Amino acid sequence: MPFDSTPDITNNQVQVITQAPSLGAQEVEQFITTPVEMALANIPRVTERRSISRSGLSVITLVFDDAADVYWARQQVSQQLKEAEEVLPQGKGTVGLAPVTTGLGEIYHYTIRAEKGYEDKYSLTDLRTMQDWIVRKQLSGTEGIAEVSGWGGYVKQYEVAIDADRLNASGLTVADVYDALEAGNENTGGSYIEKNSSQYFIRGIGLTTSLEDIGKIPVKTIGGTPILVRDVANVQFGYATRYGAVTRNGEGEVVAGITLMLKGENFQQVIKNVKKRMAQIQKSLPEGVAIEPFIDRTQLVDRVTGTITRNLIEGGLIVVFILVLFLGNYRAGLVVASVIPLSMLFAFGMMKLFGVSGNLMSLGAIDFGLIVDGAVIIVEAVCHHIGISRDKYRGASLTQAQMDDEVYLSASKIRKSAAFGEIIIMTVYLPLLTLAGIEGKMFRPMAMTIFFAILGAFILSLTYVPMASALFLSKESTHKRNLSDRLIEKLRGWYLPVITKSLNWSKTLIASMVVLFAISLLVFNRLGGEFIPSLEEGDFAAEISMAQGTSLSQMVESTMQAEKILKAQFPEVKQAVTRIGSSEIPTDPMPVERADMLISLIPKAQWTSAKTKDELMEKMEEALSVIPGMEVEMTQPIQMRNNDLITGIKQDVAIKIYGNDLDALESSAKKVASLIKDVDGVSEPFVEKVQGLPQIQVKYDRDRLAKYGISIATANRVLEAAFAGRRTGYVFEEDRRFDMVVRMDNDLRNDLAALEGLYLPLPDGGTLPLRQVAEISFEDAPAQITHEDGLRRIYVGFNVRGRDVQSTVEEIQGILDKELKLPAGYYYTYGGQFQNLQEATGRLMLAVPLALLVILCLLYATLKNVRETLFVFSAIPLSAIGGVWALWLRDMPFSISACVGFIALFGVAVLNGIVLIGQFNTFEKEGMTDVRKRIVEGCMLRLRPVIMTALVASLGFMPMALSTGDGAEVQRPLATVVIGGLLTATILTLIVLPSIYKTFTRENRKEA
């Protein structure tokens, strides 16, 4: 069975990535993003469409409904892209689809670095070449891997670096060199010839294999003298334009790689395959080169598995202890406890059959107390029945046939109540299967697993439990008083005066409960709300941003400084690796001035700088605030990746502003940021940077170009080749392929005078400097243009700390409604976790009433009496009181996790009510007409199973409620609600339900 840390909540999406190095952000939007968006607009089953246009890059994300097959979706997109490619500028961009992966796909991050003593032997170019041609090549094809993405270092190229002076002196242009290189680097086949009895294939060898070969390519012959490439350029090893880098521990740059898991694969099998292949790859690397993982999700999965296992074992032991204690019979306790492993085996088989993976949500919320509830009621009834039948057998041991009869008689009496109780608990989870979106992916597996486990227990309690009771319970009819009897007698001694007095004050008690329920509703409304408590992943991610247009070298320097600070000041940091800008496969298209620092931490138990995740994050942010111009936002790797993939925004909450003019959008976003920055709970707001990218703009004078007969296409081609570099072909080193690129020499590429003096070819064979036909100036330009459903958009993002999401956003809504005035036609919405919470709450507003309606119908089917159905149903508001106060006392906001706890609670809460009312009805049928006597004797008789079922169900959740292990924060609200609710539900069932029964039964008798 597949096992992972959490369910994969990423939506069903296809990303279209177009790399166009020669286009600016506006050109990318106009020539690539908008035409492609238009072509993809009518694909069926698309629920959301968003895009980013940036210099050299366009990323369009299409989100499909969850039922759509991802390969079908990719096929639809591919078909439409063929039409779109016809309207895209020829040769300006390469269009492709992102790998088939998800937010949980980044399973193994590693660095390739030179070991100590070998730093001078291997350059960053060498390390990057090893990543691309040894590591990536061998990892590709590993079962379950979608893609291996490289990041950082220098991608090796064969560079023809043109010397402007020598080129101009020769009377040549960049275009001449480009054409010569294209013509001087190819092989060909010349068919074959037959000679004697043999056949010889003809092959023309003209491919360049070395720098020397490239240098010998002739550009032009002037006066009988050939001018070679080496005469006008330096032929050397260079590197591709870098849009990203990776630094590690403040020690310098390294090369990194990320293995992306194929969507729907079994994580444990895939990571095993990757590690096995990595061990093999390490052996094939040169001496002195090491591959070192820095984020390995196995560690998180192991920690979460440890938390789940510990909670389940502790919960199971608590359940067994309570059973043995209250039944006073270790055999009875073990018969009931044996239902746990058997029902879990049944659940695992069903999970495998229905494709439900094991994770924190599907296995972490199982309560063994719920599973054994039916068995507890049956075994307790059998023990009680044999106990009261001792006079019948006069101390003799029962034969197997007599034991079978006694078990059948006692089990069949209580079976109806126990069966319907279990059916109610099972059925109450069914509305959770109606949840869709993220909350559906989170909680559907949990609902299915619990349903399967209780279904298994239900089948076992009908078959196995009576059989095991008949076989294994003691057949002695004599009974010695034991600790259990003394405990129950003591409880009955305390309970009798309480129930007697409460019946005297029935109406007052009922009115008090109504008032308490009303107060609880007020408290509930003040709890605040969040979507789902974030899982503590055990590692941090710092989102780093600097001023628009910050150079890559400056980013490298600043991030190294940040890594040094964290390593020096926080002993918790094992390793800090920063990914700057974008990788080769830009599924996360960050600009150069933004970076993600992944901080690998030691286990939480060993922390000394802080006790909690939030406290350590705040201290780290404060420590990094000394770096000038750097903004830092702490989060966690999977949380950040999920936020980014699901909403396109890495922060928890975003205020998204829509409009057409980028300047108006930017000023509106800055105003929003200034209005919300002082709101309690809001971290430093991040405004999406859309403007202010420094550019050198070459504006052509069309009249002068026409005068000299130069076309804009010719001028652009020379400009692109000289500065961006233009590929003229490939150079092969055995099976490795490297680009051959023409560009200006590196010193001249950073010189404005070289740009102005760039020579353009004239039709008559002469040349002309660029400055004579163009105006060259420094300008600020758009850095990034974002679309959502075809509209331009900007966002202000922030994470929420020390406060719940709902109350934070509600306060912000009040401020923005009063203070923010947007231009005509502009509007804003909320995205991220708040949007998820709103959507989930809307669906739960249907699921919860549906669950309550199902409970009501099942109760009526059990009791066949409207009045008694409503008596038992009263346990639900009584249990809700405890759930609400438990959340309030533990300072927890209402979350979807807590809501699921309430749904589970309502199912269990009515179980004891059914047992009590069932006993009252039995006494009534036996001719007991005194209502008060019926209530008191029924309550005293059923005290043991009522307390026992409540304790096993609530205390079975206790380890979850108190756990501080990895993953416990997601389980804690659910467990807190169930424990708090069951405590009050049990107390109130034993006190208030009898009062309700007495009050309304007596009134009915008067009417009769």
The domain that contains 169 carries what CATH number? Answer: 3.30.2090.10
What is the pLDDT averaged over residues 226-252? Answer: 91
Pick left, alpha or beta for residue 765 (phi over 0 → left; psi -120 to 50 → alpha; otherwise beta).
left
In degrees and rounded to multiples of 5, residue 115 shows phi and psi of -75, 165
Q: How far is CA 899 from the centre of its chain?
A: 20
Percent of the chain topping pLDDT 90: 31
Q: Is residue 688 part of a domain?
A: no
Residue-level pLDDT at 1003: 43
Q: Do residues 651 and 16 lie in contact, with contact meaning Cβ atoms separated by under 8 Å?
A: no
Residue 1004: pLDDT above 50?
no
Residue-level pLDDT at 743: 87
In degrees and rounded to multiples of 5, residue 361 shows phi and psi of -80, -40
Residue 1008: pLDDT above 50?
no
SS3 track for 596-638: EEEEEECCHHHCCCCCCHHHHHHHHHHHHCCCCCCEEEEECHH
Q: Is residue 941 part of a domain?
A: yes
Does one domain contain both 904 and 990?
A: yes
How far apart are the C-alpha atoms of 376 and 369, rounded to whole Å? 9
Q: How many domains does the chain have?
A: 5
Length of the chain: 1008
pTM for the full predicted model: 0.80
1007 pLDDT band, cuts 50/70/90, is very low
> What six digits make up the tokens of 777?
């100036």
How far apart are the C-alpha atoms of 789 and 504, rounded to whole Å? 66
Does one domain contain both 929 and 974?
A: yes
Residue 64: pLDDT above 90?
yes
Residue 881: pLDDT above 60?
yes
Q: Which residues contact 2 (CB under 8 A, 6 or more apart)?
A: 265, 266, 267, 268, 269, 357, 358
Q: Do residues 75 and 45 lie in contact, with contact meaning Cβ atoms separated by under 8 Å?
A: no
Q: Is residue 121 part of a domain?
A: no
**554, HSE (Cβ side, Cα atoms, 13 Å):** 15
How far apart are the C-alpha atoms of 595 and 244, rounded to whole Å? 9
Residue 203: pLDDT above 60?
yes
Residue 391: pLDDT above 70?
no
Percent of the chain topping pLDDT 70: 97
Does one domain contain both 476 and 332?
A: yes
Kindly report, residue by residue over 211-222, the tens digit of the pLDDT.
999 999 999 988
Does one domain contain both 703 and 610?
A: no
What is the pLDDT averaged over residues 681-692? Answer: 86
Q: Do residues 864 and 445 lie in contact, with contact meaning Cβ atoms separated by under 8 Å?
A: no
CATH code of residue 337: 1.20.1640.10
How far apart are the C-alpha atoms of 760 and 143, rounded to whole Å? 52
What is the pLDDT averaged over residues 916-924? Answer: 82
Query: Exposed/middle/buried for 152, CB within 10 Å: 0-12, 13-18, 19+?
Result: buried
Residue-level pLDDT at 792: 92
What is the pLDDT averaged over residues 930-950? Answer: 84
Query: Exposed/middle/buried for 236, CB within 10 Å: 0-12, 13-18, 19+?
Result: middle
Does one domain contain both 598 and 489?
A: no
Q: Which of 465, 480, 495 is the last residue of a domain?
A: 480
Pick left, alpha or beta for residue 677 (phi over 0 → left; psi -120 to 50 → alpha; otherwise beta).
alpha
Does one domain contain both 608 and 517?
A: no
Q: Do residues 599 and 763 lie in contact, with contact meaning Cβ atoms separated by under 8 Å?
A: no
- Return the minimum-mean-pLDDT range out of 189-203, 411-425, 503-517, 916-930: 411-425
Q: Do residues 800 and 614 lie in contact, with contact meaning Cβ atoms separated by under 8 Å?
A: no
Query: Exposed/middle/buried for 425, CB within 10 Å: 0-12, 13-18, 19+?
Result: buried
How far apart are the C-alpha atoms of 858 and 653, rounded to whole Å? 41
Q: Is residue 117 part of a domain?
A: no
- Domain of 985, in residue numbers: 481-526+865-1007
CA–CA–CA angle 187, 188, 194 (5° rounding) = 135
More confident residue, 838 or 749: 838
Does one domain contain both 510 and 542?
A: no
Closest CA to 257 of 75, 127, 414, 120: 127
Q: Do residues 755 and 770 lie in contact, with contact meaning Cβ atoms separated by under 8 Å?
A: yes
Residue 952: CB atoms within 10 Å: 29
Kindly report, residue by residue over 98-154, the tens digit of the pLDDT.
899 887 788 898 999 888 888 889 999 999 999 999 999 999 889 999 999 888 899
Q: Which residues contact 549 (CB under 8 A, 6 or more apart)?
A: 593, 692, 693, 694, 783
Residue-level pLDDT at 1005: 43
1006 pLDDT band, cuts 50/70/90, is very low
Q: Is residue 826 part of a domain?
A: no
How far apart are the C-alpha atoms of 277 and 272, rounded to whole Å? 9
Q: Which of 731, 751, 782 is the last residue of a domain?
A: 782
Does one domain contain both 596 and 707?
A: no
Kindly report, residue by residue over 592-650, the tens digit of the pLDDT.
889 999 999 988 889 999 988 889 999 999 999 999 989 998 988 878 877 777 777 77
User: What is the per-residue DSSP string for 541-603?
Assistant: EEEEE--TT--HHHHHHHHHHHHHHHHHH-TTEEEEEEEEE--SS-SS---TTEEEEEEEE--
> Strand 529-530 to strand 894-895: parallel, antiparallel, or no bridges (unpaired)?
parallel
905 pLDDT band, cuts 50/70/90, is confident
Q: Is residue 736 part of a domain?
A: yes
Does one domain contain both 369 and 439?
A: yes
Q: How far is CA 253 from CA 282, 340, 595, in A?
A: 20, 53, 14
What residues does 759 pair with on adjacent strands? Answer: 769
E strand or H helix at 696, and its extent? strand 693-700
Q: Do residues 479 and 385 lie in contact, with contact meaning Cβ atoms separated by under 8 Å?
A: no
E strand or H helix at 784, and its extent? strand 784-788
Does one domain contain both 424 and 333?
A: yes
Average pLDDT of the chain?
85
Q: Which of 166-180, 223-237, 966-980, 982-996 is modeled with the greatest confidence?
A: 223-237
45 pLDDT band, cuts 50/70/90, is very high
Q: Where are the alpha helices (DSSP H) in 184-291?
A: 211-215, 229-232, 267-284
Does one domain contain both 970 and 938?
A: yes
CA–CA–CA angle 148, 154, 158 (5° rounding) = 110
Q: Where are the alpha helices (DSSP H) in 184-248?
A: 211-215, 229-232
Q: Is residue 789 part of a domain?
A: no
What is the pLDDT averaged over residues 165-184? Answer: 87
Does one domain contain both 475 and 497?
A: no
In the block, which residue shows the tokens 């109780």? 421
Q: Do residues 18 and 36 lie in contact, with contact meaning Cβ atoms separated by under 8 Å?
A: yes
CATH code of residue 48: 3.30.70.1430
Q: Is residue 170 part of a domain?
A: yes
For 985, the 3-state DSSP assignment is: helix
Q: Which of 761, 782, 803 is the last residue of a domain?
A: 782
Q: Do residues 229 and 177 lie in contact, with contact meaning Cβ atoms separated by under 8 Å?
A: yes
Residue-level pLDDT at 383: 79
